[in-house]
Structure 1
Amino acid sequence: MQWDTANKFLNGPFAPWAEESAAYDLPVIGKLPEDLAGALFRIANNPRFAPRDLDRYHWWEGDGGVAATYIRDGKASFRMKWVMTDSMKIEVEAGEAIYSGFVNGSSSAPATLPAGAPPSKNVANTNVGLFADHLLVYFEGGLPTSLDAETLDTYGSYDFNGGIDVLCTAHYKLDPHSGNMLFFAAVGRNLTWYEADARTANIIDSVTFDMGCPAMVHDYIVSEHHAIFLISPTQFRLDRIMQGRPGVLWDEDAVPGGSRFAVLDRRTKKVTWYDTGVMLAPTHFFNAYETDDKIVVDLHVIARLGNPAGLSDEPIESHSWFPPAMAWRFELDPTTRRASNRMLSGVAGEFPKINDALIGQKLQYGYFATTRDLTPETMTDGLARFDFDSGQTIVVEGVDGLTNPSEPVFVQRRGATAENDGYLLSLWWNRHTGLSELLVHETVTFDAAPLARVRLPVRVPFAFHGTWAEAEQLDAAIAAQRENV
């Protein structure tokens, strides 16, 4: 499915796929590891109807779908469905897009919403994962949506048993000791951090603090005792969105002294601020850990993110709005309340990932998708493994011309004790077939040749995030959902 526009985000690897799909016993080149059993759940940014303003449409606004690849006994099956939020139901009934975009605004007047329609769109397009036997899809402008982990049918919005009422970040963290979900909601100037029990999903802790501005906070990180946020010039302006104007602004006046880390002590509930002295925005975090005299934070940062404040409301070219990000390390000194910094890798990239079992601990390896080539067609162009000890970055290219890999997901090999003993799973775009492939790389040697290539029956429109669920976790969630139907 394609519409008549040169907009990058509606063509090539971003181009929508018009149908919900299912397939079994997928073709595999190579061999899937026998001990790889579970499901890779990934978001698909997949506009169901032509956007109201094709040229202003932005990647962040695509309708959410979930693409699930189920792997067992060396075989793979696949399913992809849209997430049927209340706002999508309104558009399906109308047979066209009703809601305008929020990133670049719209050149036309907002549509009149039908009676009873949600005032804004929950696109459910940012992350997906299992928690407390629920498959949850996240979007930072609303509540998560619960899906059936096997059929991907939509159950409805999810509020943690009444514990939250507005929204939930897509970038939750799971405490490696308790399994509890650690997440937040940023609304206007206020940010509220939450902890949800892994068994009951009840909210068992929350803390609210003032960010000082309506910063757009997308990702964050936790160390053993802290929740760590970077407050930047990137602002989320709901007032402008309601006027049909670009709502994501780069406004350095909002943080006149430079971007600042807000560090919440999860024990005392106290927030400590650390100044960086530089104007930059975070994209996504690798990890953070504590030493005797500092907090170390590793993440990808970007020179600017959003429509420059003070300029016209016309959309700007995507690489100007969102230039390449680089991996940096910040060391937060509790004595001086300053954050020193240095670049970790000279290879531009995004979507950093680690072995999530080691979150909050010092570790050796991180992975990311590279963004070395600023092409008008693609977003990413390879996968990288970064060694925090040696500073070495190893890059692997796509085989047979495959390109535009998704965020990689690390899966530790069953029974493994070494941090890096496992597999890296990612979706790639085949420009010759127009379809997607799942590649499985071994992570110890990290060779360019994958262990397996799984040919998917669709193009999964390039999207943000995803997670792996082990077979035991998946089976338990499916069984629990069947009991509650």
Structure 2
Amino acid sequence: MAWVDSHVFRIQSSKDLSWHGTIGIGYLSLQTNLCARRRIPKLKLTASMGPFAGKYHVAWQSLKEERWEGELQVDGHIPNWLNGTYLRNGPGVFHIGDYNVNHLFDGYAALIRVQFDNGKVNGGHGQLQSEAYKTAKRNNRICHREFSESPMPSNFLSCIGYLMGMMSGASVTDNANVAVVSLGDGRVICVTETTRGSIQIDPNTLETIGRFNYTDNLGGMNPNQSGHPMVFENELITILPDLINPGYNVVRMLAGTNERTLIRRVNCRGGHAPGWVHSFAVTENYIIVPEMPMRYSLGCIFGGEIFKWRPETKAYMHVVSRVTGEMVTSVEVPLFITLHFINAYEERQELGKKTLIIVDCCEYNADPSIVDILKLKELRCFSGEDVPVNSRIGRFTIPLDGTATGQLDAAMPPEKHGRGIDLCTINPNNIGKMYRYIYGCMTRRPCNITNTLTKIDLKEKVTKSWYVEGSIPSEPFFVARPGAKTEDDGVVISLVSDKHDGGFVVILDASTFTEIAHVKFPYGLPFGTHGCWLPKYNV
């Protein structure tokens, strides 16, 4: 074995090498495949170093420290009205001790904060102190069932204990690395697809306050929830997939409470397990419950895959009234797979009668390979050859006249966004309503993941884009200008991982989609998932 050239990693002394601890740098055989999964020793880090430095794009590297904060350098002009805090969640640690996690969605959650105050910008990050992260750090290995992998029990008794924990939910991760949301009462929580993974944080310090405990019994033995609750001023709406009695519990939680109440129980129409509900959509009057043929697998209890693609079970869309809980309609739709719904709205006839619902999402042409493409070994091994990550703005048309089937088409030609689109946001004032503009991450080929920010005009079927060669931006987040009169009057904020192991915030004028400011972090930023905006008076 040979250590990687010391001028790259700046190893300070042989005492810096240890098989214990929480931060590590890999070593290489002269003929080792850099993309192979391996055990890695610990190195003491200097300011210019980082896990896997010089080998992988910084988007797929762990943060060096659990916490940091400081003033950031601004290049350009920050609008005087932009005062508040942008929080972004996402995986921040991809290895524990000498153990590398398998999938992007297995990375341990870290929050990044960008605080705007009269033209000045402060930034920082904090590692979310979930039980999954703390237990893994103590044991130098994963100890809970994560998205793509399970811990390996050391003996028969520990295997029995793990299985019992899976049945009770105790072995299921609380690694809340998907989204961060601000409730109507001002509390801020990080969430993932398990109810244990709802964790309250302090948005000012990024300290972990503790688990967000629900005071109802709706979860029961089903530890699952949507990773994207829909949050409004007075309530939160989410969906709890039910693996025991296959179906979906649609629930709401009023602001200021911890109690979820049932809006509607929706039974599965296809298969013996509910479909994956990473996200869903709502209109002004309805909740759209998707039933994808990417279905939960009971094999996950024994360490197998959480989901299996079951096209023979077909796909459906269920529509539930937000007010009465009535099942309005349930239609079969073409096969689809999506992680992220974008928006939905109701269309009416001239007399005001609702005739159909339009639902838009980032749809992967019913190709489940997107899950495997997001494995870290795939993301880290990009060689310059194009990797198919084809997706489109999928538009469902759901009739409200009793018709048994709905339609799925592309809302605009996929070539307009490089045949790849995801991580989309809109002006939050248009959630559930007819809208025109989408802000998302698209592909500029060749690539193996979205690498370009885009503004999509659904009316004119045109796009505008922002691109820096070698950089990987995360979800673009729209912030409306106070008093805005048009849908795209505001700015778009995105955290970017650059090819030089750095990280920065780009701020774009949402109307022209041109860069107006560039805010540099003093270290590299890993790829993130989703964020939220806290106006100054709420922070």
Label 1:472 to 1:31 Cα distance change in 2 as closer, same or farther (>3 A): same
- Of stretches 113-122 and 415-424 in structure 1, the one that deviates more from structure 2 is 113-122
Provide Cα deviations, 1:412-468, integer angstroms capped at 9, x if missing partner: 011212111000000111111x12111110011112xx1111111332321211111
1:15 partner letter: Q
Matching residue of 2:247: 190
Matched, 1:445 2:493: no
- 1:44-443 correspondence to structure 2 within 5 Å: 44-47=90-93, 49-50=95-96, 54=100, 57-99=102-144, 101-103=146-148, 112=158, 118-131=170-183, 132-143=185-196, 144-162=198-216, 165=219, 166-175=223-232, 178-188=233-243, 189-203=246-260, 205-212=262-269, 213-237=273-297, 239-253=298-312, 255=313, 258-271=314-327, 272-276=329-333, 278-292=334-348, 293-304=355-366, 306=368, 323-335=389-401, 336-345=403-412, 346=414, 347=417, 348-373=420-445, 375-376=447-448, 379-398=449-468, 401=469, 403-432=471-500, 434-443=501-510
Which has the greater radius of gyration?
2
CA distance in 1, matches of 2:177, 2:288: 24
Label 1:201 to 1:168 Cα distance change in 2 as closer, same or farther (>3 A): same
How far is the alpha carbon of 1:92 from its aligned partner? 2.7
2:454 partner letter: A
CA distance in 1, matches of 2:141, 2:480: 43
TM-score after normalising by structure 2: 0.77
SS at match of 2:102: coil
Label 1:421 to 1:249 Cα distance change in 2 as closer, same or farther (>3 A): same
CA distance in 1, matches of 2:140, 2:153: 19
1:252 partner letter: P
1:183 partner letter: T
CA distance in 1, matches of 2:366, 2:146: 21
CA distance in 2, matches of 1:266, 1:34: 38
How far is the alpha carbon of 1:75 from its aligned partner? 1.0
Label 1:307 to 1:327 Cα distance change in 2 as closer, same or farther (>3 A): closer
Label 1:168 to 1:99 Cα distance change in 2 as closer, same or farther (>3 A): closer
1:138 partner letter: V
CA distance in 1, matches of 2:95, 2:309: 30
1:392 partner letter: V
Matched-pair contact (CA < 8 Å) for 1:45–1:125: yes
SS at match of 1:46: strand
1:393 partner letter: T
2:472 partner letter: N
Provide Cα deviations, 1:265-317, integer angstroms capped at 9, x if missing partner: 223323321122x22212212211112211111111113454799xxxx9996
Label 1:285 to 1:463 Cα distance change in 2 as closer, same or farther (>3 A): same
1:290 partner letter: E
CA distance in 2, matches of 1:51, 1:103: 19
* Structure with the larger RCO, 1 or 2 (CA within 8 Å, 6+ apart): 1
Matched-pair contact (CA < 8 Å) for 2:274–2:291: no
How far is the alpha carbon of 1:35 from its aligned partner? 0.8
- Of stretches 114-123 and 20-29 in structure 1, the one that deviates more from structure 2 is 114-123
Provide Cα deviations, 1:193-230, integer angstroms capped at 9, x if missing partner: 12222244543553222224321111100001111122
CA distance in 1, matches of 2:217, 2:428: 25
TM-score after normalising by structure 1: 0.85
Matching residue of 2:533: 468
CA distance in 2, matches of 1:51, 1:101: 17
Label 1:315 to 1:368 Cα distance change in 2 as closer, same or farther (>3 A): closer
Matched, 1:6 2:35: yes
Provide Cα deviations, 1:232-257, integer angstroms capped at 9, x if missing partner: 111222x322322222221212x2xx
1:341 partner letter: L
CA distance in 2, matches of 1:221, 1:294: 15
SS at match of 1:363: coil
CA distance in 1, matches of 2:173, 2:236: 25
Residue identity over aligned pairs, in percent, reads 20
Label 1:14 to 1:305 Cα distance change in 2 as closer, same or farther (>3 A): farther
1:187 partner letter: D
CA distance in 1, matches of 2:36, 2:130: 26
2:76 to 30, 33, 41: 30
CA distance in 1, matches of 2:276, 2:528: 19
Matched-pair contact (CA < 8 Å) for 1:289–1:362: yes
Gaps of 5+ in 2: 1-23, 28-33, 38-50, 349-354
Matched-pair contact (CA < 8 Å) for 1:305–1:321: no
Matching residue of 1:480: none
Label 1:127 to 1:47 Cα distance change in 2 as closer, same or farther (>3 A): same
Q: How many residues align?
A: 455
2:404 partner letter: R
Label 1:16 to 1:124 Cα distance change in 2 as closer, same or farther (>3 A): same
Matched-pair contact (CA < 8 Å) for 1:122–1:139: yes
CA distance in 2, matches of 1:205, 1:105: 31
Matched-pair contact (CA < 8 Å) for 2:454–2:465: yes
CA distance in 2, matches of 1:140, 1:101: 10
CA distance in 1, matches of 2:230, 2:241: 16
CA distance in 2, matches of 1:279, 1:461: 33
Matching residue of 1:478: none
SS at match of 1:280: coil
Provide Cα deviations, 1:147-169, integer angstroms capped at 9, x if missing partner: 11111111111134447544442
Matching residue of 2:21: none
How far is the alpha carbon of 1:68 from its aligned partner? 1.0
SS at match of 2:90: strand
CA distance in 1, matches of 2:376, 2:128: 28
Label 1:220 to 1:95 Cα distance change in 2 as closer, same or farther (>3 A): same
Matching residue of 2:85: 39
How far is the alpha carbon of 1:24 from its aligned partner? 2.2
2:309 partner letter: W
Label 1:444 to 1:316 Cα distance change in 2 as closer, same or farther (>3 A): closer
SS at match of 1:328: strand
2:520 to 442, 455, 476: 455
